[in-house]
Structure 1
Amino acid sequence: MSTDNDIIRRSRDSPAAFGELYDRHASVIYRYAARRAGDFAADDVTSETFLVAWEQLGTYDLDREDARPWLFGIATNLLRRHHRAEAKVLKAAAKAASDEAVADDSDRIADRVDAKVATGRLARTLKGMTAVDRETLLLYAWADLTYEGIALAMQVPVGTVRSRLNRARRAMRAQLNLEQLDETENDHGRFAAAPRNA
């Protein structure tokens, strides 16, 4: 199986070979874009990513076998333009979680409500992060890139990636700790209010 840099090398002389790169990576770029900006923007971002990649084919470093960091870097830059759409998706998730759920005795419904609330809290936490911290975390979590791959995609040193991921993880941990504290306080409140049997 040929490597990405082999495909890019051949594409410079034979444009039809570029289709192999698209076939190999378009689905992961699409999924990443859909998670970041919704399905409605993912098609555009995916198409634009490969258009920009085609236009910048001559600048690709042929020493790099894996083109994913390069493609995710292009997609991330394009997603910055679609930031409003991403903000709307996160806002909708946060709003949906804050809407009151209809009370039901079913464990299945309770689990779904809990998941929706947790999703809303995480969405609010993501929305509250700086754009570079959020992009770094999402490239790590959703694009499954290594620290080195993220550094290539964002054109920053690996140390900067580590620092951004550390900040993002601390924010997520703080949110999860707040959730546990809320649950503990709610449990204590229920126990304090419960009548004691004498």
Structure 2
Amino acid sequence: MTADTGVDGELTDAQLIAQARRNPDLFSVVYNRHFRDIYRYVAGRLDVQVADDLAAETFLIAFRRRDRFDPERGGLRPWLFGIATNLVARHRKQEVRHYRALARAGVEPDADSHESQVVTSASAQRLQPQLAKALTRLTRGERDVLLLMALSRLSHEEIAQPLGISYGTVGSRLSRARKKIRALLEGLER
């Protein structure tokens, strides 16, 4: 391990972003390393048509703000997810309309879509429309925490950083979101 590389000889994210400040071409490594995860997260929150644009916009914003990234405040990956979450928030009305349309349709979304993967992992196939409707009933903060956990598999600490909330707030929002969804789904089963 050299001073410029991590354990496997590759630059760590912190080292990479620091060097990309001086050599902007290195930012392509950041893009290549993290685009897929950001794209999946955005596609799961909105849809695949918007995901391409918002994932690309996430990296454009990160590139422009690379001088402001502070590794003391957290990792690069959560920082990127924070930017993506803020972009998703701008499209919140579209997100809510998307989940309401899924609920109204009463049909399963495309089996390969990220919506379908999230819904399927959280509930039985027959509950997909109800789960989509339940997601619309969460507050923005609850939905952000729940979907960051489900789609990006970030830890509580990694979720707290980009949302600007405490570890405890992540836990309480996640708990409230789970309770709300559970109550809504149990109410439908009766």
**What TM bracket, shorter-length normalisation?**
0.7 to 0.9
> Where does 1:104-119 land on structure 2 (aligned, <5 Å)?
117-119=126-128
Which has the larger Rg? 1
Q: Which residue of structure 1 aligns with residue 184 of structure 2?
A: 175
Q: Which residue of structure 1 aligns with residue 98 of structure 2?
A: 89
C-alpha distance after superposition, 1:17-76 (max 9, x if no partner)? 000000000011011111111011111111110111111111111336731110010000
Corresponding residue pairs, total: 167
Q: Which runs of 4+ in 1 moved over 6 A?
A: none
Q: Which residue of structure 2 aligns with residue 127 of structure 1?
A: 136
Matched-pair contact (CA < 8 Å) for 1:94–1:124: yes
How far did 1:176 drift?
A: 3.3
- State the alpha-carbon separation in 1 of the partners of residues 107 and 59 from structure 2: 38
- State the alpha-carbon separation in 2 of the partners of residues 93 and 162 from structure 1: 28
Q: Which residue of structure 1 aligns with residue 175 of structure 2?
A: 166
Q: Which residue of structure 1 aligns with residue 43 of structure 2?
A: 34
Output the TM-score relative to the length of structure 1. Answer: 0.79
How far did 1:15 drift?
A: 0.5
Query: What secondary structure is seen at the aligned counterpart in 1 of 2:101?
Result: helix
Q: Can you give the 5+ residue segments of structure 2 that lack an aligned partner in the other structure?
A: 1-9, 109-122
Matched-pair contact (CA < 8 Å) for 2:74–2:161: no
Q: Which residue of structure 1 aligns with residue 27 of structure 2?
A: 18
- State the alpha-carbon separation in 1 of the partners of residues 74 and 133 from structure 2: 37
Q: CA RMSD in A?
A: 1.9
Matched-pair contact (CA < 8 Å) for 1:12–1:58: yes
Identity, % of aligned pairs? 41
- State the alpha-carbon separation in 1 of the partners of residues 44 and 15 from structure 2: 30
How far did 1:85 drift?
A: 2.0
Letter in 2 for 1:140: M
- State the alpha-carbon separation in 2 of the partners of residues 40 and 119 from structure 1: 21
Letter in 1 for 2:23: S
C-alpha distance after superposition, 1:156-190 (max 9, x if no partner)? 1111111101100111221332244x2xxxxxxxx
Query: What secondary structure is seen at the aligned counterpart in 2 of 1:5?
Result: helix
Q: Which residue of structure 1 aligns with residue 147 of structure 2?
A: 138
Q: Which residue of structure 2 aligns with residue 62 of structure 1?
A: 71
Output the TM-score relative to the length of structure 2. Answer: 0.82
Q: Which residue of structure 2 aligns with residue 196 of structure 1?
A: none
- State the alpha-carbon separation in 2 of the partners of residues 83 and 65 from structure 1: 26
Letter in 1 for 2:67: G
Matched-pair contact (CA < 8 Å) for 1:97–1:117: no
Change (3 A) 1:35 1:125: same
